[in-house]
């Protein structure tokens, strides 16, 4: 039946439209200050319809973050190709993440909110988050690269790759958080975000070298 298929397609489109509206509203007003009515207006739908497609505001938040993670993932995988070995690929991925943050700061903040401590704040289980983190995020690729790096004797082998991978990921998130929280500190200390990132990569990659 072609009708069923078309309907399914339309449903998907509506769903997508709602997510886009939510994204726009969340990013412009912040999650807490966005109301479901705002999103409904933006999506040109009634509030009731939103709840036909998404169980809660929190779920909508997660969907927005998921889309952001997928976008980040495409950026980082593309960047990884530019590196010549595992360590270089990792560095490129890191830089790409920084660039991503510069280009889409709101997207990045949504990702950090999802994967950080406040995932509990939302009505999500850690399993939900893990699904997203492993299926669509960069962590999976980082892990592969670390394993490759260990094999090539570029990365120390006395620590399980999965730990190194997570450490790299979390540390990158933390430096981005640092920059976005402490912005006003920079002038005072004659620092720049770039210097911070530079030092970060220096310190971190130095730490994992074999």
Give the binding site for its own copies (CB under 8 A).
30-32, 109, 112-113, 115-121, 126-127, 129-130, 158-160, 162-164, 166-167, 170-171, 173-175, 177-178, 180-185, 189, 191, 195-196, 199-200, 202-204, 206-208
Nearer to DNA, 39 or 79 (CB): 39
Q: Mask: binding to DNA, 93-132, rule CB under 7 A, as x and -? A: ----------------------------------------
Could you tell me how far CA 162 lies from the centroid of its own chain?
19
Distance CA 200, CA 202 (A): 5
Distance CA 12, CA 9 (A): 5
Interaction residues for DNA, span 22-41 (CB under 7 A): 33-37
Interaction residues for DNA, span 45-84 (CB under 7 A): 45-49, 51-52, 56-58
Could you tell me how far CA 205 lies from the centroid of its own chain?
21
CA-nearest of 67, 76, 71 to 97 is: 76
Classify residue 155 by its DSSP letter: B
Distance CA 22, CA 42 (A): 8
Q: HSE, CB side, 13 Å, CA atoms: give it for residue 42.
A: 21
Nearer to its own copies, 84 or 184 (CB): 184
Q: Which does 74 bind (CB under 5 to 8 A by kind): its own copies, DNA, none?
A: none
Distance CA 40, CA 54 (A): 12
- Give yes or no for residue 203 binding DNA (CB under 7 A): no
Residues that bind DNA (CB under 7 A): 1, 3, 6-7, 11, 14, 33-37, 45-49, 51-52, 56-58
């Amino acid at each position: 039946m072609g009708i069923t298929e078309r309907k399914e397609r339309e449903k998907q489109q509506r769903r997508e439209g709602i997510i886009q509206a939510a994204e726009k509203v969340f990013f412009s007003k912040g999650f807490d200050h966005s109301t479901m009515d705002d999103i409904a207006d933006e999506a040109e739908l009634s509030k009731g319809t939103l709840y036909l497609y998404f169980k809660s505001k929190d779920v909508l938040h997660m969907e927005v973050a998921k889309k952001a993670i997928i976008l980040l993932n495409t950026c980082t995988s593309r960047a990884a190709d530019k590196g010549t070995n595992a360590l270089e690929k990792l560095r490129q991925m890191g830089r790409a993440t920084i660039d991503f943050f510069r280009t889409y700061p709101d997207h990045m903040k949504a990702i950090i909110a999802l994967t950080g401590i406040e995932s509990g704040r939302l009505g999500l289980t850690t399993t939900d988050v893990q699904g997203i983190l492993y299926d669509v995020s960069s962590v999976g690729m980082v892990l592969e690269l670390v394993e490759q790096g260990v094999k090539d004797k570029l990365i120390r082998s006395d620590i399980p790759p999965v730990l190194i991978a997570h450490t790299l990921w979390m540390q990158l998130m933390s430096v981005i958080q640092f920059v976005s929280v402490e912005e006003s500190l920079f002038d005072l200390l004659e620092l720049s975000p770039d210097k911070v990132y530079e030092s970060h990569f220096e310190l971190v990659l130095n730490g994992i070298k074999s």
